[in-house]
Structure 1
Amino acid sequence: MANDRNCEAEVPEEDISGLLGYLQIKIVSNKEKIEALKPFKEEEKELPTIHRVPDVFHKMNELAYSPSVVAIGPLHGGKKVQKHLQAMEVEKLSYMHHLFERTENFEKTRHDCVAAMLKLESNARRCYADDVRLDFTLDEDDNPVDANCCTPEKFRSYLKEIDPIAANNFKFAAVEQDLLLLENQLPFFVLDKLFGLTVGRSPEYCSHGPSCYLPTGSHQEEKTEETADSDEEEKMELVLKNFKYSATELDLGGTKFVQGNKENIFDVKFTTHHSYFPFRRGGEFEIPPFTVNDWTELILRNLIAFEQSCPLMVKSYFTSHAFLMDRLINTAEDVKLLEKEEIICNKMGCREEVASLFNKLCKNIAIDSLYSTNHCLEVINFHKHRWPKFQVKLKRDYFSNPWTIISVAAAFVLFGLTLMQTIFAVPS
């Protein structure tokens, strides 16, 4: 009984209050840490649109994702700008001053821009997947410290008058490429605001905002037959598993490639021509034409990276197109065939480089939708028949070059002569 009473001895109130106070401090501290890890507040539901490209893609082609001349925005700019980009920081400030000088009141424009950027800072930060800092502050001379929002103007005729970079084709092309990178972007509403406060106040420029320089035409989200089908995922799996035909194999199997709609690169169609005679059956693969040049890989890689980063916001059109080209193009012969049919305009020169480009684009890519699922299934079903397979084998093994054609013809002639000799020899 005495031992039980000792176990039931009461803990002093001072110790209890101290323990509760310690636990309360820990709970509050941990709650603050958890809240700090949240990328957005509860009322902020917008998803980020500007992401860092994963390291695995950087290792495949570092130049396709990292700026080489100019850093725009906080991911590569700011106080920790890389050494090879520092030379352009002074030029960016020069661009900014020239831009302000074109307005009627230099000082008012400068302060209005800084005030507007401070007001938009929280919204701009939410556009980035990383926790970034945008330093829109003034130095002791009332100059903006961070000029990352002041991008080089795209009007070459004006640039030639104020900056030697425009007269240097290498640098100008490098700047244009840097402005296309996913990691090197600013939210459009930031540019729109700056445009209105600077160029919009000058009567010599267009007053409709930067949107007037965007491509015209509206993209309507139509509910296509692919998205309407409830078994779309099953169809896509069939395509990913079974669509393994190169362009030359399809051509040998009776599929003719034709140039498609020039206005829409994604308007791919496949049509089957039916006939009672198997050797007259064929297919027609309609693919819109496109140009392949030194910029193609950079543009496609960054568009695919954007689609992979924002799957809930954008559809995987460029990822789908890269997948289709990856399957159709395996060797330089496939590129040659598509060039012949005027589907590919090859400005790289080397066909092996074009084939290598498309063969590497879809590595480590997650394909969750295909815009050409049904047409790819039609290609698969058409080439499952015996005659297309026989056609491929016949053309590849016996009619692939002039020497095999001569050999086959000689064999047929020899067979015919032997048959005739046998027929005439029977009566005698």
Structure 2
Amino acid sequence: MEKYKELLALEFADQDSKKTRPEGVLPWLPTDAVSIDKLYRRVKNIMPNVRECYADELIKDYSYEEFAQMMFLDGCFILQYLHCIVTGNYKELNMKSHDIAFIRHDLFVLENQLPFEVLQVLIFTCKNMILVVGFRCVYMPISYHSHRSAKELRKAGIYFRPGKSRHLSDVKFNSFHCSALLTLPPITVDDSTKSEFLNLVAYEACPDTPDDFGVTSYLCFMDSLIDHAEDVKELRSKGILLNYLGSDQEVADLFNEIARDLVPNPHAFVDVKRQIEDHYKSRTKIWIAEWKNTHFTTPWTLFAFIAALFVIGLQITDTFLAGVQTYYAVHPK
């Protein structure tokens, strides 16, 4: 991240309100261009106080100048990162999406915290007051979606179907009145699957590769569907997973292991995930699905239900005819 720290420090010092802002950036964000030297002098002046925040043995190997430079670059890096996230100006970060997500995680690690005085000096020197609101508050807009396994989705009335294409991005969701259909690309799982996926994930993490993270995002999505052997069985029974590896539990373990610590493209399958959440928010659909799962688990229960309706229908008809006969007996023409 050292190269990013220097670039973001320059960008942080050069926030000019006259620059053309991309669509969606807050128009009322006050910024003024400030020289990098002025920023550094302000940070350097507070170093006596800042050094007192650290144990002597932790900073004894840093000279006064080295320590000031480290605080300056880290502070500018954090604030420019927050500035880009809060304003939606992700392109200025010049990072891949998984790097952006990893930084968000690292900023919360206790040993990575900076004395707030450093950030305050940088904030007020740049007169960028939005960052005061943004820091620990409006932090990073992320679409959160609940974890739903295949077994849970099936119980909620969401059925599975293999797609005609084997493209990993070919994931579709179709909603009906009381149920829904999730279409997934069929995939063969065998002894070579793990190594192939791991190599593709490693390739996607390289700096000069496309930023869509298609394989990584697919693995994370499948990991959300697969927790246990029952989930694999559900997908396998529908022809989505072709298991040449061994037991269903082995397939579940494979996806869980590969997807551990992976960061997907936050925009991947976002529409599908949103529609799944919308389906779960419909209490009527969930109630109907639970009712069907309780009473119509086998053809015999369906037959019994139809027979019961037929008997009830006969009883109603018999009661109606008896009432008609009684009426005409009491009121003859």
Q: TM-score range by the shorter chain?
A: 0.3 to 0.5
TM (norm. structure 2) is 0.45
Give the number of the structure whose alpha-carbon radius of gyration is greater: 1
